Structure 1
Amino acid sequence: MLRRSKDERTLKENLLLASSTAFVSGATNVIGVIAFLAFSSNITGHVASLARHWAENNWHEIILFSIWLLLFFLGAFLANFLIRSGHDKSNYRAHSRPIIIEIIILLFVAVYGARFYAESQTEREIIISVLIFSTGLQNSMVSTISGGLIKSSHLTGLFTDLGGDVSEWLHPRSKKTSVVRNRIYVRLTVLAFYFFGGIAGGYFFNAYGFVIFYFIPLILLAILYYDLSTVALHKLMRVFSSSAKT
């Protein structure tokens, strides 16, 4: 999922990346609402809230929502910067850096939530800030890797792009190419797994609390392991092949 750049990626790799990251985004977003009373990926809503609070001169909320928007921006900036900085050495290492940071963030939320969280307003605001940063990190990572095809948490843009692609596919003058069809597959996958992730996140958080934050990183670890397992299998086959020749 991480070894290839945007121009070399297969449909299977894009579908796997889309499903796994969208599931994580959906689960994290719903848990954020249940546990901390705020969305971690609703940037459009945060901008609207910022404008409303500005009109009402609610300075605490103005500062808070401004920080949240800045953190999403910084997460997106950092992900792209890390990927661009590492491309000349290894695509896999460059693409995996934002995922590793996201895993660390989610584990921090798991530990703090399970052991120290006292449900204060300040704690909620800080934890949502951290989750918003990780969402910006992930969204930028998958967008950069896929050449803008996948955005794991940007559902407004997803519906816009999906509507255009379906229109292109159904229009009598259009050529029903595999490129358009594959884009539809990927966008529907993001939508479906974001929804499933939200349902699963809400259900398991209500059942097990912050323990769920220990399991969400396992999905991200599976993304990291996917390419490593392929390399390991290839090396193992080479060893068996050389042994058979001797």
Structure 2
Amino acid sequence: MITKLPRWVEYGAFILSLIAGLVNAVGLLGFKHQAISHLSGTATLLGTGLLNNNFSELIYFLLIIVSFILGAAMSGYFLRSGALKLGRNYSALLYLEMVFLIGASYFLMQGSANGIYLASAACGLQNAFASTYSGAIVRTTHLTGIFTDLGLMLGAKLRGQAFDERKALLLLLIMSGFIAGGTIGAYCYALFKFQALLIPAGICLLLAISYSIYSRKINSK
């Protein structure tokens, strides 16, 4: 059970899931109405596309998947562990995610699929560096596992097992952040189109700076 969940994990999980929800909303409403922050639908489209003999479409979906994996690989290379831990250089990865999202905005405004690939890489990078904390899965770019974990916890509670309130809070924060991000993303896309991706890019910048300041403050004590 999570008995001592630091506030920085809760705040970070909420903000990261908000970023992902925002990015995903822009993808769904914009270029080819493509989900960006997760790959289940993309993998399905890749599978069904094999029957259509449409080579360019197959390459398109395959590159989205490969981009997500490459983004995750970047996190894996620099962090060397999936467990969240204060003091690691998450700021550098957040700056990189910011650059990816700015690039995605630029290319999507030009009507280029390169924007989708960069946005997918940004989500893969983020989903990998926020991986686990004290045994709790912290995936911030999709909610399937989050809803599943919460359902399992509720079922165990009905069976008489102890209910981990802090873990439940973390899961609820991720859910609410993603949904809030989707709402903000839809609103901002209506106003700014693909320039709306500059908003999560800016949030990445602020989060990176805030984390650096907080980490230095804690480590100096």
TM-score band, normalised by shorter chain: 0.7 to 0.9
Task: Give 2:20's aligned residue.
Answer: 25
Aligned 1:2-81 pairs, distance under 5 A:
10-36=5-31, 37-81=33-77
In structure 1, list runs of 5 or more residues that go unmatched. 1-6, 239-246
Instruction: Provide the alpha-carbon RMSD of the alignment.
Output: 2.8
Task: Give 2:130's aligned residue.
Answer: 142
Mean CA deviation greater in 36-45 or 188-197: 36-45
- Percent identity (aligned): 23
Deviations 1:85-132 (A, max 9, x none): 9x9xx953532222111011112234455xxx343xxx1x22111111
Matched residue count = 217
Task: Give 1:204's aligned residue.
Answer: 188
CA contact (8 A) 1:11 1:182 kept: no
1:151 aligns with 2:139: yes
1:150 and 1:70 mapped to 2: Cα distance?
22
Task: Give 1:175's aligned residue.
Answer: 162
Shift of 1:138: 0.4
Task: Give 1:105's aligned residue.
Answer: 100
2:192 and 2:162 mapped to 1: Cα distance?
50
CA contact (8 A) 2:91 2:212 kept: no
1:110 and 1:201 mapped to 2: Cα distance?
13
CA contact (8 A) 2:106 2:115 kept: no
1:226 aligns with 2:221: no
Q: Which protein has the bigger helix share?
A: 1
The structure whose Rg is larger is 1
1:214 aligns with 2:214: no
Letter in 2 for 1:109: A
1:44 and 1:230 mapped to 2: Cα distance?
35
Letter in 2 for 1:192: S
Shift of 1:32: 1.3
